[in-house]
Amino acid sequence: MVREDKVKVVKDLEDLFKSANALVLAEYRGLTVTQQTKLRRELKNAGASFNVVKMSLAKRAAENIGLDSLNDYFSGPTGVAVIESDPVEAAKVLKEFSKENEAFVVKGGLMDSEPLTVDQLNVLAEIEPRDVLLAKIAGGFNAPLVKVAAGAKAVINKAGYALSALVDKKASGEEVSEAADSVKEEVASEEVKKEEE
């Protein structure tokens, strides 16, 4: 490779590494072209890419942008998974792919400029998808509001029934003060029940 070409490749790798939310390095020796294509397709769907690069150039690019901690992983045929979106989805793909293909060995990487071990990547892969987590949070916020609304509705209904009974008693000629007292007692007992919940 001509020197100018090497300089361009290093610059392109620097840009690629800088744009990533996370980088994961893995040995791919022994993977067939079909398996590599499958990995690339699955990672693309998860907002990542798998790049096979010359290790000396990748190492130089990492050093140039201060990612020296990756140097230990640049040995042997190593590919770089560049994760540009949600690291959880890409971690799931990498974990599942390494389970299915013994030749694919995850070495480690970086996430937010911090070292990312294989164990940490596996923990990341166990996290539920973002949409599921958001739905659970929304459901958690919604539950207390539903209880309050149901309690308020019960109090209003009871007060309405009591008021209706008061009107009926007045219409039938019973003494209103006794009916009013029974209404007050019923509303008070309903409030006590609500506080106990």
User: What would the 3-class secondary structure string for the chain be?
Assistant: CCHHHHHHHHHHHHHHHHHCCEEEEEECCCCCHHHHHHHHHHHHHCCEEEEECCHHHHHHHHHHCCCHHHHHHCCCCEEEEEECCCHHHHHHHHHHHHHHCCCCEEEEEEECCEEECHHHHHHHHHCCCHHHHHHHHHHHHHHHHHHHHHHHHHHHHHHHHHHHHHHHHHHHCCCHHHHHHHHHHHHHHHHHHHHHC
Task: Tell me the average pLDDT of the chain.
Answer: 79
Q: Are 42 and 86 in contact (CB under 8 A)?
A: no
Q: Are 48 and 81 in contact (CB under 8 A)?
A: yes
- What tokens appear for 133 in the block? 């987590």
Nearest to 28 by CA among 93, 117, 103: 103
Query: Which residue is associated with the tokens 């009926």?
Result: 168
Residue-wise pLDDT for 95-139, tens only, equals 999 999 988 999 998 888 788 888 888 888 888 766 666 776 776
Q: Please give the pLDDT value at position 86.
A: 82
Q: Please give the pLDDT value at position 116.
A: 87
Q: Please give the pLDDT value at position 71.
A: 82
Residue-wise pLDDT for 25-71, tens only, equals 999 888 999 999 999 999 999 999 998 888 888 889 988 888 888 88
At the fourth CATH level, the homologous superfamily of domain 3-127 is: Ribosomal protein L10, N-terminal RNA-binding domain (3.30.70.1730)
Q: Are 124 and 91 in contact (CB under 8 A)?
A: yes
Q: pTM for the full model?
A: 0.62
- More confident: 157 or 124: 124
Domain ranges of the chain: 3-127, 132-196
Residue 110 burial (CB < 10 Å; 0-12/13-18/19+)?
Answer: buried
